[in-house]
Amino acid sequence: MRDDHYAPQDCLFVRTTAMPRSTPGGRPLGDSAAQVRAATADPLFREALHIASGSLADSLDRLDAGAELGAKRLRRTALAVSRYALRAETRPTPFGLFAGVAPARAADTTRVRLSGPGRKAVRLDAAWLTQRVAAWLELPEVRRGVDVVSSDLCRTRGERLVIPGNGAEASVRNTALVTWACRRTTRPVGYAVLLEQALAAFPRLTSDQVDAVLLQLVRHGFLLTSITPQDLDEALLDRIAAALAPVPAAQEQLASLRAALDAYAAAKPGEGLPAWRDLRRLTDPEGTAARPPVHVDLRVDAELRVSRAVTEEAARYASAMWELSGDWQAHAYLRAYRDRFLEAYGTEGVVPLGRLVDPHRGIGFPSGYGTRADAESTARGQSEQLPKERRLLTHDLVQEALLSGDDEVRLTPALIDRLAAGRKAGAHVPPPRSLELCFHLLARSEQAVDRGDFRLLAPVYAGSLLAGATVGRFAELVGMEDDLASLLAGLGDDETVPAQVVYRPHTVRGLNMAQVPRLLPHRIPVGVYADRDAPGTLDWRRLLVSLGPFGLRLTLPEDGREVLPVVPHVLAMDREAPSVARLLVELASVRARTWTGWNWCGLEGLPYLPRVSYGRVTVFPRRWVPDRHLREAAQAPAGWDAAVAAWRDRYRVPREVNLARWDRMYRVDLEERWQREVFRREVRDGGSLAIMEDLTDGGRALGWSGGHGTELVVPLTRSTAPVRRQETAGRPRRPVPRPTDHELAHLPGEEWLYARFAASEDTHDELLHSGLPGLLREVGEHLRSWHYIRYRDPEPHIRLRLHGGAEALRTAVLPRLAAVSREWQETGMVQGMVLDTYRPETDRYGGPAALPHAERMFCVDSQSALAQIGMRARGALNLPAPVLTALNHALLLESLGDWDWSAWISRALPKGTAHAVYRTHQEQARSLIVPGRTARSAAAVLGAPLAALWSTTPETRAYGALLLSDGGRAPGGEQHAEAVMSLLHMQHNRLRGIDRTGEDAGYAVLRGVARDHQGRLAHAQDREENG
């Protein structure tokens, strides 16, 4: 097992609770008014509660004033206070004043100084501010003070202009004025200027009429304004203030808000309640907001140096989990999308992203995107299962741990090798370029950390597949902009350009979590106000999509460099991002194998799972879920205590545990009456509640951080870059891609008639030797050429393409095709026939000039394959499949012209596991495949007419003249080499069907013959030169 896939970086990020853990019974929690008042007496905790919940703050204020809340409201208040109190000591995830952030460094020794809660960053809530800006934009005098730009998410559909939304799209009639306005605003322009120019362009319209149309475009997001919130910074507030100048009352209101924000930010944590109340009165004067419309982050006053032994342990864990990550265990819908791309554009297709995602001009988005959210779970459910051996071994390990009473699965390198055995598609996929992993660091002291006496606990939220994402929105607060910029820039190289994706979340409040400074020279705005001609700004619509070595790749149209879109924050893109932004990131980061870590292999539903560890990392703590007895008992208080005691005995549950719903977690003491009641409410609420063991040893393992629950965020980068494709084959640098001609499409009724016959694979050969030849004889006089291929997606079928005059195809060929198809259906050879549009794979076979020659080559190959399938059916052709395949490959290669194909094949086909097949058939293969004379040597087994078809047909040589160069010694460049390999691939498809193992066996025989021939030539030359 390799443990060096990743290297840790020295720039660390810390998330820590603002309040240290109390001793058992140290915080007086309970359901009486006195206990609630006592629990909220700490000024910092009380201020944190006011920021978190306006309704809870009101209840606490009423209690302080001596008011009676009533039994139900008091109990709700007590439960809320208890949960917040327990969370404040347990969960270091930043949230208001409950937990904060700080920078840290990896060093030779550990040094920790925590001096208090530090300082606050305060800004208006994104949703609240967006609502206010929208109201201000309704005022004509405000609109005239902003700039606008057309959204890059707009597209035309018939006579409508449409734009996607959150679950639904908006559309307007694409009138002449709307079309003009969108074209005029491809770059930012002043609204007042736009209005004036529109009146000049459309003199019959009044100012009010034009303004009404433009306002509609602004309201629905077709036009984006310079004051619509995106970056919630002082520059935005300055632009809003300038736009509000004609409305003094609104401008004064904004000025008062900014002053109140500054006053509260200046107040020390725990001393800011008066300033907070003033700020809340301005933002929520009615006191009706469930959450105050102000966002607060906390920077903890800390100096932290952590031993590199900790980060090195994290890197070894990351490498081990990469070894365990299975094939297509996540994002199987992207594999389906890649297959759709191949179906539509072939292996050499190059498509602008703007066209690709259009549902009618391209292939749209992957299943599960946009309004088809229900499709994602289906797609994920189709991911390949882990190998049976992996599942059985995991089950064994879990059972052994539970029955032994040890309750722990201890992973070792040898065990990981066994668990990873049987991997298929992803075995050679490189690890993600970077990771960012979160760990609870547990140690009794700084000295304990330095001597290696520590543990790392991987939390439920493991981190991100992009180093820097967790810290991104805090970069300015903790002063880590330069560290992050360097980290993200390091993901690129001479051929890769990292670019920061900026988008507006579906839930506007999500903008609070997406406030990241510009960290990279290049950015990709999606659906946000931007000058797309500004230096470093990439228009996503122009990026080119093509097939890469591990999935689909994005490239710059100017120079062919690969684009690596990154989003340095952790907002859930599947729920919040526009489909374009999500696809940008997923195309760049997701492939056949993704870092997924530990997998329970179907045991997730067990009521009790053991701890899993690797080295000094607790991969997974002991975990319980409420069993049926506990769930039933939770419905009423009576009998609850006894049920908890029995449950603890049944599953060896300790006194202190953590209650977790995804990443929301807090600790409870099951021997405290009131905390058991809090636990009951959580169990009764159902959902995804998990109960985790608490590994802090009563808080003693937090000694290194002064009792504060602390997470280290460790950025990791891939240790070695994968060898690039052109380097492995000694090829020149990939040429700048050019978009494929996607306009070329032959509809039924034109000069190509394309029919798909649905049929199970075991009937394909019967259809090809007993059905198709008769049809071709009947309609052959009306055809210029034809070809067929076998296909498996979505269901097995045969594709038949007939080329001729449009009139003849419509009047003579189609009726006969329909009649024959009905006969085939009635005899059970096919399930049915569908006519479709033929979109040639132009780039795959050498480009537009080569395509007609390629299609004539397809016809020759199809004739050859049909003849041989018929011979096999009659028992007249009994060559072993690998030899027959290789023989056909040699005939095809020689038909291209007089060239040394054996030398090229020797280089182009790598030696693989199928090489043993050649050794088995070496003598027979060498007798039939004689480079330069294969048609003559093959005539004995294939017949002279078939051999002559390959050696005397002028179409094949005409095609070869376009593909071959270098003095006739090899294909003329990478594209032409791909074309030749595609010809061989499709030849196997026609002759033998879809069988990758059989195809590789044929290549192995062909390569073996070619290598032997080259060896003989070299030996003869050596003898001649040396006498």
Measured in degrees and rounded to the nearest 5, phi and psi for residue 911 equal -70, 125
437 bridge partner residues: 463, 714
Q: Write out pLDDT tens, residues 541-550.
A: 999 999 888 8
Instruction: Count the helices and strands in the chain (H runs, E runs).
Output: 40, 35
The pLDDT of residue 728 is 38
Q: Read off the pLDDT band of 1020 (50, 70, 90).
A: confident
Residues contacting 636, CB < 8 A, separation 6+? none
Average pLDDT, the chain: 92
Q: Which of 3, 130, 877 is nearest to 529 (CA)?
A: 130
DSSP state of 480: -
Is the pLDDT at 379 greater than 50? The verdict is: no
Residue 387 or 958, more confident: 958
Measured in degrees and rounded to the nearest 5, phi and psi for residue 371 equal -75, -10
Is the separation of the CB atoms in 499 and 123 below 8 Å? no
Please indicate, yes or no, if residue 199 is contained in any of the structural domains.
yes
Q: Directed axis angle between helix 191-201 and helix 176-184, to 10°?
A: 140
DSSP state of 702: G
Q: Directed axis angle between helix 126-137 and helix 207-219, to 10°?
A: 170
The pLDDT of residue 291 is 83
Q: Read off the pLDDT band of 743 (50, 70, 90).
A: confident
The pLDDT of residue 424 is 59
Q: Write out pLDDT tens, residues 98-127.
A: 999 999 999 999 999 998 899 999 999 999
Please indicate, yes or no, if residue 56 is contained in any of the structural domains.
yes
Please indicate, yes or no, if residue 299 is contained in any of the structural domains.
no
Please indicate, yes or no, if residue 520 is contained in any of the structural domains.
no
Q: Write out pLDDT tens, residues 185-200.
A: 999 999 999 999 999 9
Q: Read off the pLDDT band of 26 (50, 70, 90).
A: low
Q: Write out pLDDT tens, residues 802-845.
A: 999 999 999 999 999 999 999 999 999 999 999 999 999 888 89
Is the separation of the CB atoms in 361 and 367 below 8 Å? no
Q: Write out pLDDT tens, residues 549-583.
A: 888 999 999 999 999 999 999 999 999 999 999 99
The pLDDT of residue 729 is 39
Claim to verify: residue 222 and residue 100 sit in the same structural domain: no
Q: Which of 143, 234, 154 is nearest to 189 (CA)?
A: 143
**3 state DSSP class of 588:** helix
Measured in degrees and rounded to the nearest 5, phi and psi for residue 593 equal -135, 125
Tell me the two tokens of residue 842.
């132009």
Please indicate, yes or no, if residue 1027 is contained in any of the structural domains.
yes
Residue 874 or 339, more confident: 874
Claim to verify: residue 158 and residue 214 sit in the same structural domain: yes
Please indicate, yes or no, if residue 519 is contained in any of the structural domains.
no
Is the separation of the CB atoms in 882 and 917 below 8 Å? yes
789 bridge partner residues: 799
Is the separation of the CB atoms in 1004 and 878 below 8 Å? no
The pLDDT of residue 381 is 39
Q: What is the SS3 assignment for 822-863?
A: HHHHHCCCCCEEEEECECCCCHHHCCCCCHHHHHHHHHHHHH
| Strand 11-17 to 99-107 pairing | antiparallel
Euclidean distance between CA atoms 803 and 813, whole angstroms: 10
Claim to verify: residue 989 and residue 967 sit in the same structural domain: yes
- Residue for token pair 């390091």: 490
Ranges assigned E (strand) in 744-796: 752-758, 783-791
Euclidean distance between CA atoms 747 and 994, whole angstroms: 27
- CATH number of the domain bearing residue 776: 3.30.70.100
Claim to verify: residue 260 and residue 271 sit in the same structural domain: no
Q: Write out pLDDT tens, residues 751-769.
A: 999 999 999 999 999 999 9
Claim to verify: residue 637 and residue 752 sit in the same structural domain: no
The pLDDT of residue 421 is 85
Q: Write out pLDDT tens, residues 895-927.
A: 999 999 999 999 999 998 899 999 999 999 999
Q: Read off the pLDDT band of 730 (50, 70, 90).
A: very low
Q: Read off the pLDDT band of 1024 (50, 70, 90).
A: confident
Half-sphere exposure of 193 (CA within 13 A, CB side): 10
Number of domains in the chain: 5
Q: Which amino acid is at 757?
A: F
Measured in degrees and rounded to the nearest 5, phi and psi for residue 74 equal -65, -40
> Which of 806, 839, 872 is the endpoint of a domain?
839
Alpha-carbon 1024 to chain mean position: 59
Residue 638's domain spans which residues? 622-694
- CATH number of the domain bearing residue 210: 3.90.930.70
Claim to verify: residue 812 and residue 873 sit in the same structural domain: no
pTM assigned to the model: 0.87
Claim to verify: residue 75 and residue 153 sit in the same structural domain: no
> Which of 630, 659, 694 is the endpoint of a domain?
694
Is the pLDDT at 963 greater than 50? The verdict is: yes
Maximum CA extent, the chain:
115
Please indicate, yes or no, if residue 495 is contained in any of the structural domains.
no
> Which of 694, 720, 735 is the endpoint of a domain?
694
Q: Which of 638, 138, 713, 619 is nearest to 401 (CA)?
A: 619
Of the listed ranges 144-158, 267-281, 362-376, the least confidently predicted one is 362-376
The pLDDT of residue 726 is 43
Claim to verify: residue 194 and residue 164 sit in the same structural domain: yes
Is the pLDDT at 951 greater than 80? The verdict is: yes
Average pLDDT over residues 252-275: 98
Euclidean distance between CA atoms 802 and 862, whole angstroms: 12
Claim to verify: residue 794 and residue 875 sit in the same structural domain: no
Q: Which of 293, 132, 225, 242 is nearest to 504 (CA)?
A: 225
Claim to verify: residue 237 and residue 280 sit in the same structural domain: no
Euclidean distance between CA atoms 339 and 363, whole angstroms: 11
Claim to verify: residue 757 and residue 799 sit in the same structural domain: yes
Please indicate, yes or no, if residue 855 is contained in any of the structural domains.
yes
Q: Directed axis angle between helix 308-324 and helix 413-420, to 10°?
A: 30
Average pLDDT over residues 681-702: 95
Report CA-CA distances (Å) from 731 to 249, 269, 734, 971, 981: 68, 62, 8, 12, 15
Claim to verify: residue 900 and residue 768 sit in the same structural domain: no
Is the pLDDT at 374 greater than 50? The verdict is: no
Q: Say what percent of the chain tops pLDDT 70.
A: 95
Residues contacting 834, CB < 8 A, separation 6+? 755, 756, 758
H-helix or E-strand spanning residue 798: strand 797-804
Measured in degrees and rounded to the nearest 5, phi and psi for residue 799 equal -105, 125
**3 state DSSP class of 633:** helix
Q: Write out pLDDT tens, residues 593-635.
A: 888 889 999 999 999 999 999 999 999 999 999 999 999 999 9
Does a cis peptide bond (omega within 30 degrees of 0) precede residue 794? yes
Euclidean distance between CA atoms 42 and 417, whole angstroms: 52
Of the listed ranges 313-317, 976-980, 999-1003, the least confidently predicted one is 976-980
Is the pLDDT at 152 greater than 50? The verdict is: yes
Is the separation of the CB atoms in 891 and 977 below 8 Å? no
